[in-house]
Structure formats: C-alpha cells, structure tokens
Amino acid sequence: MKLLLALALWVGLSTIAPAQSPDLAAKPSRPLPAVRQVVIISVDGLRPDCLLLADAPVLHGLIKNGAYTMWARTIPAAVTLPSHTSMLTGVTLEKHGIGWNGIPTPGEPAHPQVPTIFELAARAGYQTAMIAGKTKFGALNKPGTVTFVSIQGDAKGTDENVAAEAVKIIGRHKPDLLFIHFPGVDGAGHAHGWGSPEQLSAITALDRHLGVVLAALEQAALRASTAIIISADHGGAGLKHGPDDAPSRHIPWIVVGPGVRHGFDLTRIGKLQVNTEDTCATACWLLGLERPAYFDGKALVEAFEPGP
C-alpha cells in the first residue's frame, strides 16, 4: 500500500490547483509582445512522412500557416521519456540524466538533473500546466514547478482523454505555458507497425482531438495570443523505435502563432539543423526567460518574421 501511495504521489495523477496566485508583475518582457502564452504539443511516435501521408487536415493546415521542418531530430536514444526530457529541458540526455523509460530504479534520478521549462517559467511568475498520456511523465512533475497536472495512465491514457483534460485546464485556468502529450500514435505503431494503415488512422483520430484543443483555445480567447509548437519524441520502423535509427530519430517540428512566418520550410535555411532541445530554448525565448548557459538547444528565431 505504501508503495502504491508513493507512486501515485510521484506521478501526480490528478489535476492540481495552484497553491497561490502567480505574481503577474514578475513576468518578464517578451521579444514578441503579441505572444502571451506558449503551448507545446507532442505527438508520441509521430514520424514526419506518416504525418504527411495521413488524413490530417488540422495538422496540415498548421503546416501551411506556420514555420516547419520534417527533418528535425530527436536525441540518439529515441525513446519516450529521455527524448521528452530533452525536449523540455533543452539539454542532452547526458546532462539531464533521465536515461530510464519506465519507473526509476534505485540510483537513478527521479527527476531531471537540470530545471525543466516548467521550473524556469514558474520562477518567472508564469502558471504552467502538463497533460500527459503516460504515467512515466511523473518524472517531469518536480514538486512546485507545474501548477496544473493531469497525467493519464493505463486505460485512461488515450488521446481523447488527454484532449478532454486539456480542454478543462485551458477553460478553467488559462495557463501561460501548457504542455500536452498525446500517446495514441505511438501505441498504434507498436501494435501494428510504423506507417501501417492502422497507424495512419490513429494520426487521423489524433488530428480530430488536436482540433478540439485548438477550439478550446479559441473559446478561451487565447488562440490569437498563443504560440503553438508541435513536435514528437521519436519516429519508428517495424514495431519499434530505438537508438541511432534514422526512421526513429527524425521528427516533425511545427510552430504557429503571432509573428510566425507562414508556410515557411525551415530547411530553406541550409545550415539550420532543428533538434528537439530547440523546443525548450524557443519556448524560453518566447516567454522572455533567460536561457541558461548550459543549454544545448537554441531559439529558432528563424521561424519568426524579422523585426523592423
């Protein structure tokens, strides 16, 4: 019983209300004042070519209206938790220390060894939120850093439930920084194969749930002031994904919102390589957060219209 209670506390299964209202005066100035919120959406296991092949009008519309690349890279390990930790800390696995992908064993860190973007944003007075479809994301729920949390697991970890939780948190709390993790595409890949008809159907279903989240942002009057970054933790081939495998390592990266260049393929900038660590760095830049010197990620300012 004690073990189950400790696990539940680590995961943070229920939505958590803030202990106190954030200090709005503490929020830093932002380089693009029109951007007041940042939403990071990760579609677990979304390989770029599968995204382009699937019937996914919402995602395809975001590509047309934003800046993007289908040649972004995740970390060499190309597995869920280590990859997401790099996405949300801006550093390599060697720096954040989360090499496990389930429940930590004795001697392994329960949380990253560097601050997550949630912690950096919370220090600056922002409200933060995380909705995830796998219990392992408890590793990113360091106490005191995420204002609102909903981590789904087992049968509840579906894209539909994740979208429903996101709608609740957006409507009730309007967080400044929101991270959403959709697990369904990865599950279809493991069950039926990457690029299979079943996985393409899972992308189509995910696309509908993504549309629900975007509609919630509209209803909350947040869409026009929100930068949305959409990416993935890894791709895959056959029924799996793993280290140093090209189909596993390539991921999409899309950004839409105020100041973003429309229909701009980032590969037009020949020497620009987009990496998953850049997601954290770009979100920090948008929120006016100081980017630590130890970051491996860079702010992808090339995705935005140049200033006057």
Q: What are phi and psi of 64, to 5 degrees?
A: -65, -30
Distance CA 218, CA 64 (A): 19
Q: Determine if the pTM surpasses 0.85.
A: yes
Residue 128 CB partners (closer than 8 Å, separation 6+): 118, 121, 122, 145, 146, 147, 148, 175, 176, 177, 178, 179
Sign of the dihedral through C-alpha 98, 101, 189, 11:
negative
Distance CA 256, CA 160 (A): 23
Encode the chain (308 residues) as per-residue pLDDT tens digits. 333 333 443 444 444 444 334 444 468 999 999 999 999 999 999 999 999 999 999 999 999 999 999 999 999 999 999 999 999 999 999 999 999 998 888 889 999 999 999 999 999 999 999 999 999 999 999 999 999 999 988 778 999 999 999 999 999 999 999 999 999 999 999 999 999 999 999 999 999 999 999 999 999 999 999 999 999 999 999 999 999 899 999 999 999 999 999 999 999 999 999 999 999 999 999 999 999 999 999 999 999 998 65
CA angle 52, 56, 61 (to 5 degrees): 85
Q: What are phi and psi of 151, to 5 degrees?
A: -110, 115
**What is the set of domains in the chain, with CATH numbers?**
2-303 (3.40.720.10)
Written as one letter, the residue type at 217 is: L
CA 7 to the chain's CA centroid: 23
